[in-house]
Each structure stands twice: as structure tokens, then as C-alpha cells.
């Protein structure tokens, strides 16, 4: 059973998500929170698998709560998906840097929300459909000046190549086709790269790919 914590200051939003999630045989809502401070407290108490976290909340916002979760070694297994009203909310970039596994717009289709919850549990980054490349392009334009990362020296040439492809938004299947390997082989390369770099998920690989200069703005064409 995938245990989810809902963090949103709007009770109607939480109620809608709860009804949808609790109707699934493999997903259940473990708890709710109305602001970031309560969300962090409930995460430490309940240890859910996934937190659906609204960005804008009173007292402590979703970004601060996310940093509290991802920065706590005892909560490394908890995945955070940010919820936002706008597809390219200015805070999404900071959210991914803060360790969120991805984001969804609040009016996403129910099937996409369910897919998101299941995907992040498996270690995949999750971005709203249709905006993945656009988000990465925007992230690249806003990213800091590339800095050399010593940890990249631990990667093989193929792992660097795979990391660059993850950085421009390709899925495992797309990477497999590009490199003419099986999807399982592509997934293995991605997993090994994440382990070597200590990345929580694919979203952090994207951040590292840009901040290290491995991928540069303009590569999306």
C-alpha cells in the first residue's frame, strides 16, 4: 500500500484528492496537513511514501517544508510532489532544487495524479504532461553558472551520456532508442548514475546535469 500525505491549505482540495486516492486498491491517504509546519510534523510522525505538497500555504510554505523533508536523513525515503496552480510557477525551479521529485498542476487529470503517485515511489521524476521539456528549458535558462562537480569523475562515459539525456528530458524508453539498447539497460544506467551521485531521483539528475555544465541551455533545439 502506498501511503500518501496531503498538504494543502484548502480543505476542499484535500477532500477531492483523498476521495480519489482512497478509492485505489494500492493507495491510501495516511494523513493531511493545512500548512507546511503541520506537514513537516506529520511527515515525521507518519513517514508516508509520498507527500502531495501545495507550494503556497500559510505560516510555512511548501518549499520550506520540502527542504525540511529532503534535508532530514531520516526522511530520505519520503518523496515530495509539489502542487501548483500554474504549469511554470516560478517556485517550481526552486522546488526541484530543494529535492522535490516533480510537480503537478492542481487541475491535472485524475489518472495523471494516480500515475504520479505510483511513479515517484518507483524513483521516477514526475512533471505535468506536455511541459517536461519546456520546464527543463526554463530551468536551464535560470540555472546558476556551471560548476565543476568532482563526483562526475566517478561516472563512466556511458553514464555521463545517459545523464545528459535525462537532463534534456528523455524517458528511459527514449534513451534506449537513442543509444540502441534495451529499456532495462537504460534504466540500469540511470539507476547507477543516481547512486554514484547520491541523487534522490531523476529530477535531481536534471539539476546536476545543468549545474555541472554537462547539459547547457539551447540543447533542446
**102-105 and 126-127 strand pairing:** parallel
d(CA 120, CA 49): 9
**C-beta separation of 102 from 94 below 8 A:** no
Q: Which grid cell is 81?
A: 510532489
Query: Which phi and psi angles does 214 have, rounded to 5°?
Result: -60, -35
Burial class from Cβ neighbours inside 10 Å (0-12, 13-18, 19+) for residue 75 reads middle
Per-residue pLDDT averaged across 64-87, rounded?
88
Residue 48's nearest CA partner among 63, 60, 33 is 33
> Nine-digit cell at 46?
507518519
Predicted local confidence at residue 140, as pLDDT:
59
pLDDT for 4-37, tens place per residue? 999 999 999 999 999 999 999 999 999 999 999 9
Sign of the CA dihedral running 34, 85, 133, 173: positive
> How far, in Å, CA of 105 to CA of 203, rounded?
17
Enter the pTM of the model.
Answer: 0.70
CA separation for the pair 215, 101 (Å, rounded): 20
Range among 54-68, 82-96, 123-137 with highest mean pLDDT value = 54-68
Distance CA 179, CA 89 (A): 33
The larger pLDDT score, comparing residue 74 to residue 124, is at 74
The residues with which 3 forms a beta bridge, in sequence order, are: 28
How do residues 96-140 score in pLDDT, each as one tens digit?
777 888 778 888 889 888 988 998 888 776 655 444 555 666 665
Question: What's the confidence (pLDDT) of residue 49?
Answer: 96
Angle at 30 between CA 29 and CA 32, to 5 degrees: 85
Query: What's the pLDDT score for residue 46?
Result: 97
Amino acid at each position: 500500500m502506498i501511503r500518501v500525505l496531503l498538504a494543502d491549505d484548502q480543505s476542499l482540495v484535500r477532500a477531492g484528492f483523498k476521495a480519489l486516492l482512497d478509492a485505489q486498491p494500492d493507495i491510501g491517504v495516511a494523513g493531511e496537513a493545512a500548512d507546511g509546519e503541520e506537514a513537516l510534523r506529520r511527515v515525521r510522525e507518519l513517514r508516508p511514501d509520498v507527500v502531495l505538497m501545495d507550494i503556497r500555504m500559510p505560516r510555512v510554505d511548501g518549499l520550506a517544508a520540502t527542504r525540511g523533508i529532503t534535508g532530514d536523513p531520516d526522511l530520505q525515503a519520503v518523496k515530495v510532489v509539489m502542487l501548483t496552480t500554474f504549469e511554470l510557477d516560478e517556485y517550481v525551479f526552486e522546488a526541484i532544487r530543494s529535492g522535490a521529485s516533480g510537480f503537478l498542476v492542481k487541475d491535472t487529470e485524475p489518472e495523471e495524479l494516480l500515475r504520479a503517485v505510483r511513479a515517484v515511489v518507483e524513483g521516477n521524476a514526475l512533471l505535468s504532461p506536455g511541459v517536461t521539456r519546456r520546464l527543463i528549458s526554463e530551468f536551464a535558462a535560470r540555472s546558476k553558472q556551471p560548476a565543476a562537480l568532482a563526483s562526475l569523475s566517478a561516472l563512466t562515459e556511458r553514464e555521463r551520456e545517459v545523464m545528459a539525456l535525462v537532463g534534456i528530458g528523455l524517458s528511459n524508453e527514449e534513451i534506449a532508442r537513442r543509444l540502441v539498447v534495451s529499456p532495462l539497460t537504460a534504466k540500469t544506467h540511470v539507476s547507477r548514475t543516481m547512486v554514484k551521485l547520491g541523487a534522490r531521483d531523476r529530477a535531481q539528475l536534471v539539476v546536476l546535469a545543468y549545474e555541472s555544465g554537462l547539459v547547457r541551455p539551447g540543447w533542446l533545439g
